[in-house]
Each structure stands twice: as C-alpha cells, then as structure tokens.
Amino acid sequence: EEWLDPILGPLLGRETIKKGRYIKIGDKEYEYNPSFCLILHTTLASPHYQPELQAQCTLINLTVTSSEGETLHNTAI
C-alpha cells in the first residue's frame, strides 16, 4: 500500500487559514496560491491508496507500453 507523509494532509485537503491566503504545513505558514497543483507519481504497476487520500485527490492510472508489449512507465497521480 502506498502512503504519503501525514504532513502533506493540509496541502492535499487545501486547509487554508487567514481567509484562504496561507496554508500551515508542520509548524510553518506558507502563502497559498489557489492555482497550485501538486503532482505525485509512482512506478508501481498497481498502486493502492487509502480511501481518505483517494477522496482528496484525482487519481489517474496511465500505463505506456512499447510495441513489443513491455511496460515502459506506469504512473498514478
């Protein structure tokens, strides 16, 4: 089962503070841009994520194979 560091929770959940202008990650506050996009990927052929993570993200399973049938890259975002 795949996992992400829990410190990314506020970022994945877009838990902004101070009228949506900042986000708190760990003990620090960072300016938040609503158009920010975080892309994570894995090379695992069949990754499994916790339902809580799946609810917060858009998952895309993309597999690219060569003409010989060899898997070149598998990405889950």
List, for residues 2-57, the tens digit of each pLDDT value.
678 888 888 888 899 999 899 999 899 999 998 988 888 777 777 788 888 888 88
Cβ contacts of residue 21 below 8 Å, gap of 6+?
Answer: 31, 32
pLDDT of residue 42: 78
pLDDT at 76 over 70: no
pLDDT of residue 16: 92
pLDDT of residue 30: 94
